[in-house]
Structure 1
Amino acid sequence: MTEQAPQVPAAHPRFAQALASLGLSDVEVRSFPDATRTAKEAADAIGCELSQIVKSLIFEADGEPVLVLMDGSSRVDVARVSEALGATVKRANAATVRAATGYAIGGVPPFGHVTEMRVLADRGLLAHETVWAAAGTPHTVFPLPPKELVEHAGGTLVDVREAATPAT
């Protein structure tokens, strides 16, 4: 009896359908046997800079889900998101993330969600030629030029990253 290699999951079917509907069927979805749930895990698996990973983060703005796209090496400044939206903002819990997107935390892609929502994309994403985002599972990612990714996500470019704190 020969030993079979472990099955590596493909893109989530809903996300694969979103790619097709956007005319992106030729985008390469890469699968990894180990999870790429965190930005660091994804960057290590891909072999790219941490800042080339796109985190798709769900917040609640006055009770409505909002997607914030942020590079993997930065943190979101909730006050800046609140200011950009003119709303009271807080991080969404896991149940809200799944209900709004149809995906679990660690696999949320930048588009292809079950709920239409506002999308903010931090300008820092534009610093790269290519960025990588989750493809609907904690084991899959895909590359796109950042401007194209933001456009397909229906995102508005904003500055919502936490300011670097000077060393003392």
Structure 2
Amino acid sequence: MADPTPTPDTAAHPRFADALRELGLAVEVRRFPDATRTAAEAAAAIGCELSQIVKSLVFEADGQPVVVLMDGASRVDVELVRHELAAGSVRRANAALVRETTGYAIGGVPPFGHRTRTRVLADRRLLDHETVWAAAGNPHTVFPLAPKTLIAHADGTLVDVRERSA
């Protein structure tokens, strides 16, 4: 297991560190020597439940980017996202659109502090936890926050877009 020693917020991506300062948020950013690019890698490094990891996923809805915040143990039901947005089509964004929209690479996208203001949907299941963990702008860093606070700073709309198992 990686060393979960807290580090100052300088471990966060500079854009995200700026966003934290602008929001007046003092969070504990943890840096890991090994990448925590996937939810499973992040949960193992932190020592938390997979569902406590927040995945910040970018989709394209009728040509417009939208960020979906989903717990690490679940998958997004694209049809539910399409319905929620009243969109004709929704698909996963490619790496170029993710970077263009958020300013971050896949695997390190935080829930807020993006390059452009983008609509954010937050799956209601995130509220099942007292604390959740999200990327701090790169694949080596994460930070904890209460889910309601995280969703509020992301200006997220609470929705049910989790894929249901058959």
- TM tier, shorter chain? over 0.9
Aligned residue number for residue 124 of structure 2: 123
Whole-angstrom CA distance in 2 between matches of 1:17 and 1:28: 14
Q: What does residue range 49-88 of structure 1 map to in structure 2 within 5 Å? A: 49-87=49-87, 88=89
Q: Which SS does the other structure have where 1:36 is aligned?
A: coil
Unaligned runs of 5+ in 2: 1-6
Offset of residue 10 of structure 1: 1.1
Moved over 4 A (4+): none
Whole-angstrom CA distance in 2 between matches of 1:73 and 1:89: 21
Unaligned runs of 5+ in 1: 1-7
Q: Which SS does the other structure have where 2:122 is aligned?
A: strand
Say if 2:56 is the partner of 1:46: no
Q: Which SS does the other structure have where 1:42 is aligned?
A: helix
Amino acid at match of 1:45: A
Aligned residue number for residue 16 of structure 1: 17
Indicate the RMSD between aligned Cα atoms, in angstroms. Answer: 1.0
Aligned residue number for residue 146 of structure 2: 145
Structure whose CA Rg is larger: 1
Offset of residue 109 of structure 1: 0.2
Identity rate of aligned residues, in percent? 76
Amino acid at match of 1:153: A
TM-score, normalised to structure 2, is 0.93
Whole-angstrom CA distance in 2 between matches of 1:77 and 1:20: 34
Whole-angstrom CA distance in 1 between matches of 2:21 and 2:11: 14
Amino acid at match of 1:100: T
